[in-house]
Chain A
Amino acid sequence: MTAFLLRRLVWFAVTLWVVFTVSFFLMRAVPGGPFSQERELEPQIAQLIEERYRLDDPLWMQYGRELAGALRGDLGYSYRKPDFSNAEIIAQGFPVSASLGIVALGFAVVLGLPAGIVSAVRRGSLVDAGLMLAATVGIALPNFVIAGVLIILLVFLLPVFPAGGWGSLGQLVLPAFCLGAPYAAFIARLTRTGMLDVLSQDYIRTAYAKGLPDRVVILRHALRLAMVPVVSFLGPAIAGILTGSLVIEQIFAIPGLGAHFIEAALMSDYTLAMAVVLLYTMLLYGMNLVVDLSYSLIDPRVQLE
C-alpha cells in the first residue's frame, strides 16, 4: 500500500513536471508575450514589466525560477489582467467550478445508478428499452445541444429556471443537469451491464435461496460488485465534467475557472492558461488515485500493486 502510494506520487511529480516544462517552452516560443499590445511602451515601464514577468534573464534561469515558484505554489501573474496574480484568479474561479462539477456528478450518479439497476432487473421490458434508448441519446448528444433545448423549454417557454448567472440554487440546477446528463447515461449503461453480469452468478442464487428479499439481494449483494465498473468510470467522468464545464460555463454565464480558461485562451493569456492546465492535471491525477484506491474498498479481492 505504502509502496503503491509512493510510486504513484513519483509518477505524479513526473507528469506535472512534463506538463510544466512543455508548456513553459511553448509559451516562451510565442513572440511578443505580455507586450503584444498596440501601444509602444515607455522603456522604464517595459523594464518593470519584464521584471514582473521575469523575462529579463536567460531562458534557463527563467525556467529555474518559474519551476521553483510553481513548486512553492506561486504561479506568477496573468498576462492580460496585470492587477491579478494567477493564484488570485484561480482562487476566485475554482470554488464555482468545483461546486458546479460536484452537483453535476451528483446528478449523474443519482440519475444513472437507479436507471441502470431498474433496467437490469426488468431486463427486456419496455422500461428497459426506454431507459437504454434515453441513455444512448444522452451519450450521443453534446451537452450544449441539451443545454440549448432545455433553455428554450425551461427558461423561455415555461419560465421555471433563470437563464444564467451564479449565486442561487435555482441557477445551479440547469447547468449541473446539462453537465451531468451524458455521464448519467454512461453510468446507467455500465450499471446495467455490471448488474446483468452479477445477477447470473452463483452467490446471488444462494442469496435468493436463503430467502432474502429481492431488495436486499439487489442492493446489498449485487450492487456492490456491479459498482466496480461504475467506480472506474468515475475517473474519466470527473475529467469529462471538468472539460464539459468549459462549455456549460460559457452558455450559462457562470464565472468559473472554465470561463476564465477560455477567456485566457482566446486572449492569449499564456501564464493563466498554463496555471489552469497545471491545476487540472493535478486534480485529474488526484481523482484517478482516489478511484484506484477505492477499488480495494469495494472489492476486497483487488490487490493494489
Chain B
Amino acid sequence: MDPQPDTTESQKPPRGVSLGQDAWRRLRKSWTATTALWLLVALGVVAVLAPLLPLQPPRRVETDRAFQPPTLAAPDQPLFPAGASPSERDAALAEGFGRLDPASRLLLRARTALFGTWSLPSLCGADRLGRDLLARLIWGGRISLTVGLVAALVSLVIGVTYGAVSAYAGGWADNLMMRLVDILYSVPFIFVVIFLITILNAEGIREVLEREYGINRMVIFFFLVGAIYWLTMARVVRGQVLSLRHEPFVEAARALGAGPARILFRHIVPNLWSVVIVYLTLTIPRVMLFEAFLSFLGLGVEPPDVSWGLLANEGLQAITPIRIYWWLVAYPGLALGVTLLALNFLGDGLRDALDPRMKNR
C-alpha cells in the first residue's frame, strides 16, 4: 500500500521496549481509549463489589412506591427491620437479593457490618413494582458484563483453536474446515439461536439437562452466544497462523522434536495475542448487545434475574401516553450505551496501539 519504504524509521536506533510496553505507552496517549479503559475498570469493580455497596435490595417489591421518580430522600424501608432476629434477617435478605453464591453472601455480610441497615436513596427512581432501579442496574450489570466476558471467551477459545488447527493442518483438512466456516457464515445465526433456545427450553428437555448434566439456562446461553461469534476469529487466526507456520522458530521447534500440538499451542498461538486481544475487545460489545437483544425479547436472562436488556424492555413497556417514566428508559439505555461505547473506543484504541507498523512511534 505505502509507496515509499519506511527508511527513516529503520535508521533510528532501536530502543529496548517490548511490544507490550510499547503498546501500553501508545494506548495511554489516546485519551479516549484511556478514559474508556478506566471507565470499564470502574464498572467492573462496581459490578464485582455490588453486594458490598449500600444498595437497596434489587428484588424487594414495594408496591406503594411504584413508578417513583428519582429522589434524594432516604428509602422508607430499612434493609431489614431493626432488632430482627438472625433468622428473620436472613429471610429478609434472601427475599431482597435472591439466592447468592458464597462469595456474594460474604460481601453482603461485610456490608451489613459496615453500613448497618442504611442504604442509598432511589437515585434512579423505582420501577413498576417499586423496586429500586439503581440497585437493579448494578445487579443487572453483573449479569450483562459476565455474559459479555464469558461468551466472548468461549468464542475466543473456539475461534483460536479452530483457526489455528485449520491453518496448521493445511491441505484438504484446511479446505474443508474453511468451507464449513463459509457455510456457517450464510446461516442467519440469531434465528437459529432463538430456535435452539426455544427447543432447549421445552418442558422435558430443560429438566433432563438440568438434572442429568447440571446445565442451566445461563450455561446454555454462554455457549450458544459464544458459538456464533467465533467465525471471524477463526478466519483472522488462520490468516495469522498461515504466515507464521514457516517461520524459523517453528522449524527450530520441530527440529527439537516438538509435536504438532505443542508447536501450535506453545509456539504459534502465543504470537497471536495482539490480534486476539483486539478482537476480544470488539467481540465483547457485540455479545453484550446480543444478550441485551435476546433478554429484550424475553428469550435471554429470566426474571427474577436482571440484565440491562431486560431493564430496557421493562422501561419500554412502561411507556404510556399518559405519563412518561423517562428514568426507566433513560438509565438502562445509558448504562448499556456507555459500556458499549467504552468497549468500542477501547477496541479501536487497542487496535491502533497494537499495530506493529506503529512500533516506536
The answer to whether A binds B is yes
Q: Taking beta carbons and an 8 Å cutoff, which residues of A are in contact with B? A: 11-12, 14-15, 18-19, 23, 26-27, 29-32, 36, 136-137, 139-142, 144-145, 147-149, 151-152, 156-157, 163, 239, 242-243, 246-247, 250-251, 261-262, 264-266, 268, 270, 273-274, 276-277, 280-281, 283-285, 288
A273 touches B319 (CB 8 A): no
Which residue on chain A has the smallest CB distance to residue B194?
Answer: A265
B315 touches A148 (CB 8 A): yes
B76 at the interface (CB under 8 A from A): no
- Given known A136-B344, A144-B296, contact A277–B191 (CB-CB < 8 A): yes
A137 touches B202 (CB 8 A): no
Distance, CA A19 to CA B187, complexed state (A): 8
Residues of B312-335 contacting chain A, CB below 8 A: 312-313, 315-316, 319, 321, 324, 326, 329-330, 332-333
Chain B: minimal CB distance from A274 (Å): 7
B199 touches A148 (CB 8 A): no
A265 touches B195 (CB 8 A): yes
- Given known A19-B192, A30-B204, A251-B316, contact A281–B198 (CB-CB < 8 A): no
A288 touches B341 (CB 8 A): no
Distance, CA A101 to CA B167, complexed state (A): 38
B202 touches A32 (CB 8 A): yes
B196 at the interface (CB under 8 A from A): yes
- Chain A residues whose CB sits within 8 angstroms of the CB of B321 once the complex forms: 156, 163
Residues of B176-194 contacting chain A, CB below 8 A: 179, 182-183, 185-188, 190-192, 194
- Given known A142-B293, A281-B187, contact A273–B195 (CB-CB < 8 A): yes
B298 at the interface (CB under 8 A from A): yes
Distance, CA A31 to CA B337, complexed state (A): 41
- Given known A136-B345, A268-B198, contact A148–B204 (CB-CB < 8 A): no
- Chain B residues whose CB sits within 8 angstroms of the CB of A285 once the complex forms: 186
Residues of B268-282 contacting chain A, CB below 8 A: none
A144 touches B316 (CB 8 A): yes
Which residue on chain B has the smallest CB distance to residue A148?
Answer: B329
- Chain A residues whose CB sits within 8 angstroms of the CB of B333 once the complex forms: 141, 145, 148-149
Chain A: minimal CB distance from B179 (Å): 8
Distance, CA A265 to CA B195, complexed state (A): 6
Distance, CA A14 to CA B343, complexed state (A): 37
Q: Taking beta carbons and an 8 Å cutoff, which residues of B are in contact with A? A: 179, 182-183, 185-188, 190-192, 194-199, 201-205, 285, 289, 292-293, 296-299, 309, 312-313, 315-316, 319, 321, 324, 326, 329-330, 332-333, 336-337, 340-341, 343-345
A156 touches B199 (CB 8 A): no
- Chain A residues whose CB sits within 8 angstroms of the CB of B324 once the complex forms: 152, 156-157
- Chain B residues whose CB sits within 8 angstroms of the CB of A36 once the complex forms: 203
- Chain A residues whose CB sits within 8 angstroms of the CB of B326 once the complex forms: 152
Chain A: minimal CB distance from B189 (Å): 9
- Chain B residues whose CB sits within 8 angstroms of the CB of A152 once the complex forms: 319, 324, 326, 329
- Chain B residues whose CB sits within 8 angstroms of the CB of A142 once the complex forms: 289, 292-293, 296, 309, 312, 336-337, 340
Chain B: minimal CB distance from A70 (Å): 15
Distance, CA A250 to CA B298, complexed state (A): 11
B190 touches A243 (CB 8 A): yes
Distance, CA A129 to CA B341, complexed state (A): 16
Selected from B197, B199, B205, the residue in CB contact (under 8 A) with A270 is: B199
A270 touches B191 (CB 8 A): no
B186 touches A284 (CB 8 A): yes
- Chain A residues whose CB sits within 8 angstroms of the CB of B329 once the complex forms: 145, 148-149, 152
Distance, CA A34 to CA B92, complexed state (A): 43
- Chain B residues whose CB sits within 8 angstroms of the CB of A246 once the complex forms: 190, 194, 293, 297
- Chain B residues whose CB sits within 8 angstroms of the CB of A30 once the complex forms: 199, 202, 204-205
B198 touches A140 (CB 8 A): no
Selected from B196, B205, B312, the residue in CB contact (under 8 A) with A144 is: B312
- Chain B residues whose CB sits within 8 angstroms of the CB of A284 once the complex forms: 186-188
Distance, CA A153 to CA B312, complexed state (A): 16
- Chain B residues whose CB sits within 8 angstroms of the CB of A149 once the complex forms: 329-330, 333
- Chain A residues whose CB sits within 8 angstroms of the CB of B299 once the complex forms: 262, 265-266
Which residue on chain B has the smallest CB distance to residue A30?
Answer: B202
A247 touches B293 (CB 8 A): yes
List 24 interface pairs A-B (beta carbons < 8 Å), by A numbering.
A29-B199, A32-B203, A136-B344, A137-B337, A139-B344, A142-B292, A142-B336, A144-B292, A148-B316, A151-B319, A156-B324, A239-B188, A243-B293, A262-B297, A262-B299, A265-B299, A268-B198, A268-B201, A268-B202, A270-B198, A273-B195, A283-B188, A285-B186, A288-B186
